[in-house]
Amino acid sequence: MKHNIGKLSLIIGALMLVTAVCGMQHVPAETRPPTEYQVKAAFLYNFAKFVEWPDRAFSGSTAPLNICVVGKNPFNEYFDDIRDKTVGGRPISIQVNPDSEQLDLCHILFISSSEKHHLAQLIHKLENAGVLTVADMEGFTGAGGMINLFMQDNKVSFDINLKSARRAGLKVSSRLLRLAHTVQE
What is the DSSP track for 65-79? EEEEEESS-S-GGGG
What domains lie within the chain, and their CATH numbers? Answer: 2-184 (3.40.50)
Per residue in 138-165, pLDDT tens? 999 999 999 999 999 999 999 999 999 9
Does the structure show a pLDDT above 90 at 184?
yes
Does the structure show a pLDDT above 50 at 24?
no
Does the structure show a pLDDT above 70 at 14?
no
Spatial CA neighbour of 47 closest among 87, 9, 83, 5: 87
In angstroms, what CA-CA distances link 29 with 23, 33, 88?
A: 14, 9, 33
Residue 110 is which amino acid?
Answer: F
Does the structure show a pLDDT above 50 at 4?
no
CA 28 from chain centre, in angstroms, equals 28
Spatial CA neighbour of 133 closest among 39, 46, 70: 70
CA 19 from chain centre, in angstroms, equals 16
Q: What is residue 81's predicted lDDT score, i.e. its pLDDT? A: 86
pLDDT level of residue 3 (50, 70, 90 thresholds): very low
Does the structure show a pLDDT above 80 at 170?
yes
CA angle 38, 43, 48 (to 5 degrees): 135
